[in-house]
């Protein structure tokens, strides 16, 4: 179980800091929830504590691991199926996995609108985690990732 102040990652929303743990009644059931505050955009996300592991919530990676992820980006090869629908589903599974090395590395050119949107989301999630992991600025991390993707 995580504690208030822990830095964690939600696979679909990105990295944040647990602001509080509260009890809420949702659909007639009282449950404990992490209130995750996302630094980028200031959004709050309620995550049920009981199934946070099942959702894919995990601690933010250490700073040196984040450096290894950025360094590995240029060498990641993605087998892209020509069927855009299957490709979209496969990429959504990568995104939901929360695994930094499974995030899509692909040029925006040639992608469908949905795929470009997903690529943007994946980059935002990755940036948010590295920002918290290394106490770096959003702009610095974004520039490092864009350089690795080039």
User: 110 versus 62: which is more confidently predicted?
Assistant: 62
pLDDT of residue 105: 46
How far is the C-alpha of 29 from the C-alpha of 104, rounded, in Å? 37
**Which whole number is the average pLDDT over 37-49?**
87
How far is the C-alpha of 109 from the C-alpha of 25, rounded, in Å? 46
pLDDT of residue 20: 94
How far is the C-alpha of 48 from the C-alpha of 69, rounded, in Å? 29
Q: In what order do the strands lie in the sheet with 14-26?
A: 44-48, 29-37, 14-26, 7-10, 58-59
* pLDDT single digits (tens) 76-127: 776 666 666 777 777 777 766 665 555 544 444 466 777 778 778 888 888 8
């Amino acid at each position: 179980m995580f504690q208030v102040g822990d830095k964690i990652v939600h696979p679909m929303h990105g990295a944040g800091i647990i602001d509080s743990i509260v009890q809420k009644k949702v659909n007639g059931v009282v449950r404990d929830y992490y209130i995750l505050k996302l630094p980028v955009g200031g959004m709050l996300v309620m995550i049920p504590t009981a199934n946070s592991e099942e959702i894919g919530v995990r601690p933010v990676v250490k700073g040196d691991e984040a450096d290894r992820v950025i360094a590995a980006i240029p060498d990641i090869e993605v087998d892209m199926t020509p069927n855009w629908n299957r490709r979209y589903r496969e990429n959504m599974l990568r995104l939901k996995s929360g695994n930094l090395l499974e995030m899509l590395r692909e040029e925006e050119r040639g992608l469908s609108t949905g795929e470009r949107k997903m690529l943007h989301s994946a980059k935002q999630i990755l940036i948010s985690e590295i920002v918290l992991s290394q106490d770096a600025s959003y702009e610095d991390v974004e520039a490092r990732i864009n350089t690795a993707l080039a």
